[in-house]
Amino acid sequence: MAITLNNGFKMPVVGLGVWRMDGKDVRDLIINSIKLGYRHFDCAVIWVRVPYFFSFTDWDNREMGGYVKMQSSIHYLGFEFHSSLVSQIGKSKDADYKNEAEVGEALSEAFKTGLFLSYPVRLQLWNSDHGHVLEACKDSLKKLQLDYLDLYLVHFPVAVKHTGVGQTDSPLDKDGVLDIDTTISLETTWHAMEDLVSKGLVRSIGISNYDIFLTRDCLAYSKVKPAVNQIETHPYFQRDCLVKFCQKHGICVTAHTPLGGAAANAEWFGTVSCLDDPVLKALAEKYKKTVAQIVLRWGIQRNTVVIPKTSKFERLKENFEVFDFELAKEDMDKIKAIDRKYRTNQPAKFWGIDLYA
C-alpha cells in the first residue's frame, strides 16, 4: 500500500525507523523486516548529531534510473542487490547514536565490495547548511556518486551557524542556546532548493517539522511545491489542521514518532505515551490487535505515512500487520477525541530554545 507524491513517486505507507537503535540489532532487524515485507527504512539525520548515519528505502512502482555504484551497507546485510532509496550517509563528530561501530563496519565492507544499486535517492538539508544549499547538495551527490537526488528535504525550519558543508553539528552560543543565523530566511533557503530542481540536481523537494503557518508561507513563495512534510503526529498530537492543510495542497504528510515516542521519549524527554490510553486499549481488544497496530492503522486511514521504530522482531511483525483490518468511523472518532495537543519530541532540552514556540 502506497501514497502517490505530487511528483509521481509512490511511497509505502508503513516504514521502519532505526534511530536510537543499538548497533548490534540493526543488521538482523533490517534483514527480518525485509523478509516480512518492509520496503521503507528511515534513518534520517537528526538533531542529536550522529557519528555515522545512513538510510535506505525501497520504493516500488517507480521506474528506477540507471545503475549506480554505491558504497552502502546492503552487502553487509546479506544482499547482492537491492532496489533502495539511500537517504543519508556521512560522518559527524558527536556521538549520540549507539550503532556507529556496526554501521561503520557495514560501510567498510561495502567499500571493499563495490556494490551496484539502482534506486531513487532522498536526502535532508541540515540546519547549518541553509546558506550553502548548492554546496551541501553537491557534497552529498559526490559522496553518493550520483548525478541527482529524487527528494531533498529541509530538515528543520531554522538556519544555524555554518560549521562546514555536510556537517550535522548543532552549535550553541555562550549561553548554551542554539546559535541561529538570522541572516538567512526560510524563503531564501527554499529558493535555493528550487534552484537545485532547475539545475537537474534534485527532482523534488520537501520540508520537515514545518507548522501550518510555515507551510502556508512556503506555498506562497514557492515555485516548486513541497512534496512532503515530515512531522510528529500521533493520537495525543493529531495536528488535524496541519495534516488536512498539507493534504489539501498536495503535500504528503509523513508521521515520525507515530506511536508517541513510547519508552524512548519518556527516557529522553520525560513524556508519556498514548499506548497506555484506555480508549486505545479498548479498541485493541475490540479488533483483536495490539494498541500499536490500532494507532498505526489510524495513521494510515488519515492518509499519512507512518515510520514506527522497534528493535524487537515480534513488534516488527505486528507493526506491519495493519492491512487486514479497518477502523470503523465511530472508532476513528473515538481516537480523534483523545487528542491532547501533546508534543513528545522536545529539542529545547538540547538546543536551549523552543523551536516550536
- Residues within the annotated binding site? 155
The alpha-helical segments, DSSP class H, found in 128-250 are 133-144, 186-198, 212-221, 240-248
Q: Is 221 part of the annotated catalytic residue set?
A: no
* Amino acid, single-letter form, for residue 183: T
Q: What angle do CA 346, 127, 257 make, to 5 degrees?
A: 35
Q: How far lies 17's CA from each of 30, 33, 56, 81, 281, in Å?
A: 10, 11, 10, 21, 24
Residue 346 C-alpha cell reads as 522536545
Sequence length of the chain is 357
Query: Beta partners for 306?
Result: 14, 255
Cell of 309: 521504530
Residue with cell 494510515: 300
Q: Which residues pair with 267 in a beta bridge?
A: none
Residue 249: CB partners within 8 Å, gap ≥ 6? 215, 219, 225
Residues comprising the binding site for substrate? 155
Given the residues 38, 76, 97, 236, select the one marked as catalytic: 97
Bridge partners (DSSP) of residue 41 are 16
Which residues are known catalytic residues?
Answer: 97
